[in-house]
Every structure is written in C-alpha cells, then in structure tokens.
C-alpha cells in the first residue's frame, strides 16, 4: 500500500515541557487513526477528516474543544476540506457551538452545490443535517481563558502579531486509489475580533488538493497566509518542477521575507512523497507510511516507530 497520512498540530512559538508529551501523543493518535482508515479501505477524504476529528476532540490543540477565544471570550471556528479528485471542496467559517467543524465542512462539500458556508447559514445547515449543538462554554478550556487574559494584558508590549503563539490542526493523505485530500481546522487567533475569518477555511490558503500535484495543509499567521495564498503558491512551485521540500521552503520563505509571517506546511503527492516544513519555532507533526510512524515537534527531533 502506497498510502500516506501526514498531520500537523499547528505552528507554535514554543511548547512548554509539560505539554510536549500530551501534544506528541495527540498528534501520533491522529496520524494512526488516519492511517488505519486508509488500511481499512477508506478514502483520502475519510482519512484526513478522521485524523482532524481526533485533534478537534483533543483540548491540547487549537481546534474544536481546544479552540482559542475571541475578544469576547467565545469560540468561533473555521475549517475546510478538499478532495484532489475533481477539486471538490467544502468550508465553514465563524461557526459556534459544534464539536467538529471539519464534519460540517465535509457536508458542505458533499451535500450542497456550494463550497463555503458561514455564520448563521452554516448553523442552519448544520441543524438541517442533524448535527448536534454543544453549549458554547463546553468548548472553552481553562487554558484558553488564561491565554486570552494574558494576551489582553500583554497587548502592545508583545511580539508583532505575525510571530505570536500560533496553532491549528490539519492533515493530508494519499489513498490506495491515488487520490489525495487535505483537511484543516482551527479556532483562529487569540483575542481576534468577532467575525474574523482566517486562512484556514479559504481554499488555496488553508490548504489545497489536486491529484495532479499533491495536497497541502497550512498553519501560521492567517492574515499573512491569506495574502500570499500559501497553499496554492506552494503547489505552484511543485508544478514548476520543485520537490515538495524546495517548494515549501520557497513559499514559507516568501511569506517571511515579504510579510514577516511565520507558519508551517505539510505536503503529500501522488508518488507517496511527503514533507513537513515550518518557520515558526516548532510544529508538532506526524507521518504514517509503510508501517512506520515518523513524528516531531522541533527541528532535529524526529522519532520513528513501527506502527502496530
């Protein structure tokens, strides 16, 4: 089986020692879940959705129940998903009170003639699809309440926005039929304005998938990623003959030099090659292929283990 799954847990400025192990376990669980879906004959879309659901359900990550809070202390989430077969895509933005925005994005892709639903329309569609709502407070963690307080106190004295603590989750996959897909999901950026939409739900910025080129999921400073269309830009370099790693270095380098924007990407192509790259201080990631699981958080910290 040539199948591959790669996941990320968001670009971050640093991850404290006590969180590191929990983050590592979460990311490994997500990659393993995605890989098992492929092994059982699931599609690349099934695998990326399954991997992202694991991360949305893990409070260590900025998505689903670990989402950062907006200026009012509420959770508003963005997500998108795309199949490299036919370029079908689905996205939702600024959604509240649902546990798994990536499931809603997939329903937009599969059950509507549209690519993107937002706010009230997305909420009505979720209800029509029978998606249960959860009380908003259920998505608010103690850690994120503290992060918001800290952010409000430190505002102005801090680093520029583009280099703050970032986070988001994502996955890319190649299945046994040669189809690629990506999924990305986030709570966005701490202390964001109400209604702020980042790069994550925007096809071409938060991710892209085309069987002829590959699939990519991005993380990092959303406004910078939007301005350079980071996902599609990276795939453009691959179309021009660059390797996955060269393409990632070029597009992340461009975003940094042009806008001082930091971020990270994960990539896979039809040949089963994969790559992970980031310009933030760290980016938890894991990749499953050929019965092996590779993972890391910072540079020079790659572990490889056999998958069960």
Residue 27 CB-half CA count within 13 A: 30
- CB distance 89 to 210 below 8 Å: no
**Residue 81 interacts with ligand ASP (CB under 6 A): yes or no:** no
**Residue 279 interacts with ligand ASP (CB under 6 A): yes or no:** no
Part of the chain binding ligand ASP (CB under 6 A), chosen from 82-90, 108-116, 171-179, 196-204: 196-204
Nearer to ligand ASP, 82 or 189 (CB): 189
From the number of C-beta atoms within 10 Å of its C-beta (0-12, 13-18, 19+), residue 119 rates as middle
Part of the chain binding ligand ASP (CB under 6 A), chosen from 24-32, 39-47, 186-194, 238-246: 186-194
| 153/175 Cα distance (integer angstroms) | 47
Tell me how far apart the terminal alpha carbons of the chain are, to the nearest angstrom: 15
What phi and psi, each to the nearest 5 degrees, are found at residue 157? Answer: -75, -10
**Residue 186 interacts with ligand ASP (CB under 6 A): yes or no:** yes
With CB under 6 A, what is the number of residues at the site for ligand ASP?
15
List of residues 6+ apart from 185 with CB closer than 8 A: 52, 55, 56, 63, 64, 77, 78, 79, 101, 102, 105, 168, 169, 170, 200
Residues 220-259, interacting with ligand ASP (CB under 6 A): 220, 222, 225
Part of the chain binding ligand ASP (CB under 6 A), chosen from 28-36, 130-138, 153-161, 163-171: 163-171
**Residue 261 interacts with ligand ASP (CB under 6 A): yes or no:** no
Whole-angstrom CA distances from 177 to 193, 215, 246, 250 are: 42, 15, 26, 30
Part of the chain binding ligand ASP (CB under 6 A), chosen from 15-23, 80-88, 125-133, 216-224: 216-224
Nearer to ligand ASP, 175 or 199 (CB): 199
Nearer to ligand ASP, 68 or 238 (CB): 68
- CB distance 172 to 216 below 8 Å: yes
Nearer to ligand ASP, 102 or 293 (CB): 102
- Catalytic, 168? Answer yes
- At closest approach, how far in Å is the CB of 212 from ligand ASP? 26
Set 33, 168, 218, 279: catalytic member? 168
Quick one: tokens of 224? 């910078």
| 270/290 Cα distance (integer angstroms) | 15
Nearer to ligand ASP, 46 or 199 (CB): 199
- At closest approach, how far in Å is the CB of 178 from ligand ASP? 29
Provide the Cα torsion 203, 205, 210, 215; round to 10°.
-120
- At closest approach, how far in Å is the CB of 188 from ligand ASP? 4
**Residue 219 interacts with ligand ASP (CB under 6 A): yes or no:** yes
List of residues 6+ apart from 296 with CB closer than 8 A: 276, 284, 285, 286, 302, 303
Active site residue ranges: 168
Binding site for ligand ASP (CB under 6 A): 10-11, 166-168, 186, 188-189, 198-200, 219-220, 222, 225
């Amino acid at each position: 089986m040539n199948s591959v799954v790669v996941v990320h847990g968001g670009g971050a400025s640093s991850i404290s020692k006590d969180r590191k192990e929990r983050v590592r376990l979460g990311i490994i669980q997500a990659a393993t879940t995605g890989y098992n879906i492929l092994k059982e004959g699931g599609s690349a879309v099934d695998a990326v959705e399954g991997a992202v659901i694991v991360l949305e359900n893990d409070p260590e990550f900025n998505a689903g129940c670990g989402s950062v809070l907006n200026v009012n202390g509420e959770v508003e989430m963005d997500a998108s998903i795309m199949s490299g077969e036919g370029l079908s895509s689905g996205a939702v933005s600024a959604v509240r009170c649902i546990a798994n925005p990536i499931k809603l994005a997939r329903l937009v892709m599969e059950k509507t003639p549209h690519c993107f639903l937002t706010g009230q329309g997305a909420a009505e569609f979720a209800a029509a699809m029978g998606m249960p709502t959860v009380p908003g407070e259920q998505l608010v963690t103690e850690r994120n309440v503290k992060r918001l307080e800290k952010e409000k106190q430190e505002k102005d004295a801090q680093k520029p926005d583009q280099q703050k603590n970032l986070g988001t989750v994502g996955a890319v996959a190649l299945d046994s039929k040669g189809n690629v897909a990506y999924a990305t999901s986030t709570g966005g950026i701490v202390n964001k304005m109400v209604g702020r939409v980042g790069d994550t739900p925007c096809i071409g910025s938060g991710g892209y998938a085309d069987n002829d080129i590959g699939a990519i999921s991005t993380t990092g400073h959303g406004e910078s990623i939007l301005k350079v269309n980071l996902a599609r830009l990276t795939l453009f370099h691959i179309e021009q003959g660059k390797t996955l790693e060269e393409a990632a270095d070029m597009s992340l380098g461009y975003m940094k030099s042009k806008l001082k924007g930091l971020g990270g990407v994960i990539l896979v192509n039809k040949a089963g090659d994969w790559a992970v790259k980031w310009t933030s201080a760290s980016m938890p990631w894991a990749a499953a292929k050929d019965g092996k699981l590779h993972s890391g958080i910072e540079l020079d910290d790659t572990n490889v283990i056999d998958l069960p």
